[in-house]
Amino acid sequence: MKIAINCRHLTSEKMEGFGTYTYELVSRWITHQTSSEFILLYDRKPKHFLPQLPHVQHVILPPATRHPVLYWFWFEMQVSRILKKHKVDLFFSPDGYNCLRSKIPSIISIHDLNFVHNPKDLPKILYLYLSRYFPKFSQKADTIITVSKYSKEDIVSTYNLDPQKISVVYNAASAVYKPLEESERQGIRNTYTQGKPFIIFVGSLHPRKNVQRLINAYHRLKSPEADLIIVGSPMWKKKGLKTEGPHQRKIHFTGYLPQSEVARLMGSAMALAYIPYFEGFGIPLVEAIQCETPILAAKTTSLPEIAGKAALYCDPYDEAEIAACLERIMVDSSLRQQLIEAGKIQKKLYSWDRAADTIWSIFETTAGI
C-alpha cells in the first residue's frame, strides 16, 4: 500500500494535540509497516522528526497553513497534486481536514466538534471555515476515525452520518508518563513550588479548557493545601487569564514545556485538575492515570468515559462545586489512593501500539488490501 499522510502538525515547536496524535501513530507505522510506501506531507520544515527510512518520503508543500484561505489552497491544490502525482492508494488526515478535489480514498480523524457547540471559542473566520467544510470533509471520507464513543455519537447526529462509517479508536499516553520515586517528586516540588505540594493543569489555554473557572474556584478556597501549576500556552493571541485573588502567589504559569518535563510535573502532582466544558478525549487524563496521579475532571462530554472511576467529577460551570472538589481532593488522602487504584485498571484501555494496529487494519480494509 502507498499511503500519503498529512503531517503538518509536526512543524510547530510545540508538540500538542494533533501533533502528538500524528507522531505516535505515524512513527509506529513507518517503523513496522515496511512493505508499504509512505508520503509524509508537511507545510514547512518539520520540527519533530520521524525516522528517515528508505520506504518513506518527506515532502514539504508550501505555503505554511496559518489561515483558512491557505488551508484551502494547501489541501485542494498542493495535496491534491501530490496524491495524483504519486498515485497513492490512500490519504490519511489526522486533524479532520480532507482533500475534496481528489478521488483517492481518504480516512480522516475527527477528534471533536467543539466548534459546532461553542463557536465563540474560535476566531470567527476559522469558525466559518470549519462550519462550511467539515460537513463536506466528513461526507467525502471513506472512513472517519474518532477518539471516543461520545464523539462518535456527536458526529453521527450532527452530520447525519451512518454510524458504520465511524470507528472509535482511543488515544493513549506516551511512555514517558510513569510513576516517580518520592525523591524525584520532591525535587520537582523544590523547583516549581518551593517544596510545596501542587495541583496541576495541562493543556493549551483555549477557552474550552475552562482554566479561568479553575483559577476562580481556586481563589474561593480559604487556605489551599496545594499550589496550582498551569502548564500550557495560549491557543490564539487573546486577552489573558485573570489571576488576581487571595492566592495569586500560589498560582504558577510555566508556559509551554517539553513533554519530558510535563511528565515529571504530572508524576509529581498531588492531582490533575482537568475541567474543560467540552472534550473529545482528553489525553492529559490518560497521562495522569499512567503516572498514578489522581484526577479532578469535569462531568461532561467524553471525560467520564475516558477517566472512568479514576476521577472525582464536578460541574465545570459551577465554581463553588469546583472549589469544593479541589478542597476534597487536597485533604482526602484515602480518596486520592482510591482514584489511583481505579486508574491502574482504567489504563489498560489505552495503548498507542493497539491504536496504531487498529487504524492500520482500517486502512487496509478501506484500500481494499
340-354 average pLDDT score: 98
Instruction: Supply angle C-alpha 129, 236, 122, rounded to 5.
Output: 35
Using pLDDT thresholds of 50, 70 and 90, give the confidence band for residue 64: very high
Give one word for 301, left, alpha or beta, with left for phi > 0 and alpha for psi -120 to 50.
left
Please indicate, yes or no, whether residues 154 and 246 belong to a single structural domain of this protein. Answer: no
Tell whether 300 and 248 lie within a shared domain: yes
pLDDT bucket at 96, cuts 50 / 70 / 90: very high
Please report the sign of the dihedral spanned by the C-alpha atoms of residue 37, residue 42, residue 44, residue 46: negative
- Cβ contact 335:312 at 8 Å: yes
Distances (CA, A) of 36 to 23, 92, 194: 18, 14, 52
| Closest among 191, 251, 190, 196 to 218, alpha carbons compared | 251
Residues 47-57 pLDDT 10s: 888 989 999 99
Angle at 351 between CA 347 and CA 353, to 5 degrees: 165
* Statement to judge: residues 140 and 101 lie in one domain: yes
pLDDT at 236 over 80: no
Let me know: does 298 contact 318? Beta carbons within 8 Å. Answer: no
**124-142: pLDDT as tens digits:** 999 999 999 999 999 999 9
| Predicted local distance difference test score (pLDDT) of residue 235 | 66
Residue 177 belongs to a domain: no
Residue 233: which pLDDT band, with cuts at 50, 70 and 90?
confident
- Let me know if 157 is exposed, middle or buried by CB neighbors in 10 A (0-12, 13-18, 19+): exposed
- Rounded mean pLDDT of 165-184? 97
125 with 265, same domain: the answer is no
Q: In percent, how much of the chain has pLDDT > 70?
A: 99
Cell of 212: 479561568
Q: Is the pLDDT of residue 42 over 80?
A: yes
CATH no. for residue 16?
Answer: 3.40.50.2000
If asked whether residues 85 and 197 sit together in one domain, one would say: no
- Which residues pair with residue 271 across a beta bridge? 199
Residue 176 falls inside a structural domain:
no
The reply to whether 286 and 357 lie within a common domain is no
Provide the pLDDT for residue 167: 98
Percent of the chain with pLDDT strictly greater than 90? 93
What's at 196, amino acid-wise?
Answer: K
Residue 175 lies in a domain: no
| Same domain membership, residue 362 and residue 216 | no
Q: What is the pLDDT of residues 106-123, one digit of tens each?
A: 999 999 999 999 999 999
Banded model confidence at residue 15, pLDDT cuts 50, 70, 90: confident
What per-residue confidence (pLDDT) applies to 142? Answer: 97
Residues 231 and 269 in one domain: yes
Asked if residue 119 and residue 189 are part of one domain, the reply reads no
Q: How many domains does the chain have?
A: 2
| 148 in any annotated domain | yes
Same-domain check for residues 105 and 206: no
As a whole number of angstroms, the distance between CA 153 and CA 161 comes to: 10
The reply to whether 8 and 126 lie within a common domain is: yes
- Judged by DSSP in three states, 5 sits in strand
Same domain, yes or no: 299 and 312: yes
Question: Is 319 inside a domain boundary?
Answer: yes
Is position 92 within any domain?
Answer: yes
In-domain check, residue 150: yes
- Domain of residue 336, residue span: 182-349
Q: Is residue 105 part of a domain?
A: yes
